[in-house]
Amino acid sequence: MKYFIVTYGCQMNVHESEKIATILENLGYECGQTREEADIIVFNTCAIREGAEDRVLGNVGNLKKMKKKNKNLIIAVCGCMTQKEATAQKLMQTFPFIDIVIGTFNLPKLGDYIQAVKTGRQLEIWEEGDIDETLPYKRTSGENAWVNIMQGCNNFCTYCIVPYVRGREKSRKLENIINEVKEILKEGKYKKITLLGQNVNSYGKDLENPVSFANLLHEICKIDGDFTLSFMTSHPKDLTDDVIDAVASEEKIEKSIHLPAQSGNNRILALMNRKYTREKYLEIINKIKNKIPNCRITSDFIVGFPTETEEEFADTCTLVKEVEYDSIFAFMYSPREGTVASKMEGQIEEQVKNRRVNTLLQIEKELQMKKEGIC
């Protein structure tokens, strides 16, 4: 029996697909190379932008024929998209050939649902649960091992669906993380550890014995072994000096920080509920540049947030030029149902968003060429 997993979205999902693989292998399935040879196909979905959801819908829809040919094929859909009750219901109704639809918090029970599939179709979306510490991961990312340090997000940026589908911030205990890293290094084949969380800088605040993210970094660096350590993602409002100092002083930590700015304009940043200003953001960037020479700095930007004017968009462009990022991701704002921004007046036309995203990407291209000495 073979399985095939289709993963969408961020590194967190890539890592969770490693957990899905473990669950399936524990049930006796082997990793298949194509969908066609699979006895079970699992879609691990993302809800961050409409485009991500559309891709899932298209790909799931395409399985209708395969299911007709092979009645025993099991199709499961999980991840951030299915944690939304309305979307999960709609998926079940639109695609009668889907066997299992489960939310993000139900993942550890995927094996039970698969075993129960003969008794009928299943849809299950729990509310929040604790972080699962029971299932190991079948690591599939070569020399890099992902380590989840927390789940969820408390920030409620007004455009973002993540707090609704991943729940509130919950940190894993320091000793569980340290033990996992030690186990990974014992295997001898991993050269890189990447810590994952939506907002890693607020790690540990919710623990019974609070630990700071900087402390966690220092503790991991104390572990013997030849490895590099990196982390994602940092929120500018929580990136404290002790974390910058840890990156500067610890040899094992990669000199690279992904610090999403989202916009360079203060009115838009306030509307986004980012809780920092352009000036504050630049202050942090300058600190990083001063304390960590040659640090790779990258960022995410959203263009066409509701009511964003041309002048306000121009502030984003000047920020990108001023920081001289090593690389950026630029996204067109995508309204997500249930978020505050999706109900705001002054939604921007697709055409305008498209033009702005291209302008930003052109600026990025010119920066890269300048850095490489081409112009």
Provide the binding-site residues for ligand SF4, judged by CB under 6 A: 153, 155-157, 160, 162-163, 198-199, 235
Q: Tell me if 333 contacts ligand SAH by CB under 6 A.
A: yes
* 300 Cβ contact partners less than 8 Å away, ≥ 6 residues apart: 258, 260, 261, 262, 328, 329, 330, 331
Q: Tell me if 341 contacts ligand F3S by CB under 6 A.
A: no
Out of 4, 9, 169, 244, the residue judged to bind ligand F3S by CB under 6 A: 9
**Residues 290, 291, 297, 301, CA torsion sign:** negative
Please identify, among the stretches 44-52, 141-149, 172-180, 202-210, the one whose residues bind ligand F3S according to the rule CB under 6 A.
44-52
Q: Which is nearer to ligand F3S, 305 or 313 (CB)?
A: 305
Which class for 253: exposed (0-12), middle (13-18), buried (19 or more C-beta within 10 A)? Answer: buried
Residues 143-182 touching ligand F3S, rule: CB under 6 A, are: 161-162, 165-166
Out of 23, 56, 80, 317, the residue judged to bind ligand F3S by CB under 6 A: 80
Q: How far is the CB of 52 from ligand SF4 (least distance, A)?
A: 14
b or e along 118-142 (b: 16 or more beta carbons within 10 Å of the residue's beta carbon)? eeeebbbbeeebebeeebebbbeee
Q: Tell me if 148 contacts ligand SAH by CB under 6 A.
A: no
For 150, the 3-state DSSP assignment is strand
Residue 243: φ, ψ to 5°: -75, -45
* In the complex, residue closest to ligand SAH by CB: 300
- Report CA Rg, the chain: 22
Q: Tell me if 47 contacts ligand F3S by CB under 6 A.
A: yes
Q: How far is the CB of 201 from ligand SAH (least distance, A)?
A: 10
Residue among 38, 34, 18 nearest 26 (CA): 18
User: Using CB distances below 5 to 8 A depending on partner kind, what does residue 156 bind out of ligand SF4, ligand F3S, ligand SAH, none?
Assistant: ligand SF4
| CA distances, 235 to each of 70, 119, 232 (Å) | 46, 45, 9
Q: Which is nearer to ligand SF4, 20 or 162 (CB)?
A: 162
Q: Which is nearer to ligand F3S, 9 or 236 (CB)?
A: 9
Beta bridge partners of 302: 331
Q: Tell me if 67 contacts ligand F3S by CB under 6 A.
A: no
Please name the helix (run of DSSP H) or strand (run of DSSP E) that holds residue 284, with its range, or none: helix 278-291
Please identify, among the stretches 24-32, 171-179, 318-326, 332-340, the one whose residues bind ligand SAH according to the rule CB under 6 A.
332-340
Please identify, among the stretches 27-35, 42-50, 135-143, 269-277, the one whose residues bind ligand F3S according to the rule CB under 6 A.
42-50
Please name the residue ranges forming H helices in 64-116: 64-69, 85-94, 110-115
Site size toward ligand F3S (CB under 6 A) is: 12
Q: Which residues here bind ligand F3S, judged by CB under 6 A?
A: 9-10, 12-13, 46-48, 80, 161-162, 165-166
